[in-house]
Structure 1
Amino acid sequence: SRLDPFADRLRGWLVLEAARPRKNRRTARRLHEDLVALGYDGSYGRVAAFIRQWKHEQRQARQTTGRGVFVPLCFQPGEAFQFDWGEDWAIIAGHRVKLQVPHTKLSFSRAFILRAYPLQTHEMLFDALTEAFRVLGGVPRRGIFDNMKTAVDRIGSGKARQVNLRFMALASHYLFEATFCNPAAGWEKGQIEKTVQDARRQIWQDLPAFPDLGALNAWLEARCLDCWERLQHIELARS
């Protein structure tokens, strides 16, 4: 349909609007007008139907996960990525340094990328995702996160979150829908939790010393790319 080229952008807008106070949200009519300003020449009714369907899917997701039911982690290509922080140590410029290590993993192929930073600031989170999307070759439609402070200002009941404005701007820029796990429900993001464990064994064994973080991150990228060649997707392995 005429809306297809704008669907990802509209989906990203809806994620941002859902995180705002109700009185500050754009109406369906306003969202239609904003799409028209970008070149959309379809009807308001098509936009309104898309919004109704998106809200219905969000309600279904909240009802399912709110019961504590296990959600099978089955994904389509390009559907989702998973993100989490870990901690590790490295020798940088002759000193043993504690590092914050973001892990970004494609949910379907299981390809992953690691980087290292001194802190978990917004700037370092944004750089980690930007570099991950560069290496992974694109941006999936959805990102699965825990309730890290750089993304979530306040946790409400069920799936309700007050999303950080700077994080919202990032999600809007890259047009991915951010979803957040229930507190302490690591199974919702099980692949990335396993990556945190596996990566230390696969990547950080026999870690050499580095002159600076730039050299370490270049080494990590090369090691991750090498690991991709040995990954076998679970669905392909069963066939």
Structure 2
Amino acid sequence: MIDVSKPSVARMYDYLIDGTDNYPSDREACAELLKMAPSTKELARINRAFLVRAVRYLAQQAGIQRFLDHGSGLPTRPNVHQVARQIHPEARVVYIDNDPLVLAHGRVMLEEDLATTSVIEADFRHTEDIFTKAEVTGLLDGEPVAALFVSVLHCIPDEHDPWALVKDVARRLPSGSYMVISQLASDDPHLRENVTGFMKEITGDRWGRVRSTAEVQRLFDGLELVEHSEPVEVSTWRPDTDLFPRQQTREWIEFGGVARIP
């Protein structure tokens, strides 16, 4: 049973990028969030564009044909498999989420494409369980894989250690695989505290934390960043053109990048 009287992080994000799979509770929560951080809508769109560019880069430049999308969220065109298949028609994608609405929509979206794309129900923190599922083990035959953690790691509390999660996934993938990581970050402690408190409240304490840029940078420890020597505000990661939209106000940002597993 999906309770639409309470906001969902996935549906809030859907609203912020002008999707249609959201409800009054989600829109009301977004209105409050925008009061605290007015650039949030702009930030969400920038992050979605970063995901598309990163997948296109990995498929086109790095030859990646297998993608594991953690906390994939509601389907939004173009989806990861659609971007990858513009370059590799046989690209394989596994989406992972535990939101009932995400799962329902994802399975409808893929009902004619089950041979090479799947949606699995799992909490992406449970790496051991995920990597025993047939859909995932089928990706792991020695070819490089791209693991995506795009705008989801801030949903994990510190006590569940997102840094260890990223390392655990990386060690399970073949050498030469890639990680795509972005997370909400701010070096303003007041904003971090306010937004984190608000998100914990509306989600029933099922959220993590807005982190500092230094904390996000630690997610890349042991990985080889590509294109930049450090994580960046993601609108600056391989922008399509010099006129590509940039975040005008930066009370918080999506901070991240693409990195290779040695």
* TM-score normalised by structure 1 residue count: 0.28
**Structure with the higher fraction of residues in helix conformation:** 1
Identify the structure with bigger relative contact order (alpha carbons < 8 Å, sequence gap 6+): 1
* TM-score normalised by structure 2 residue count: 0.26
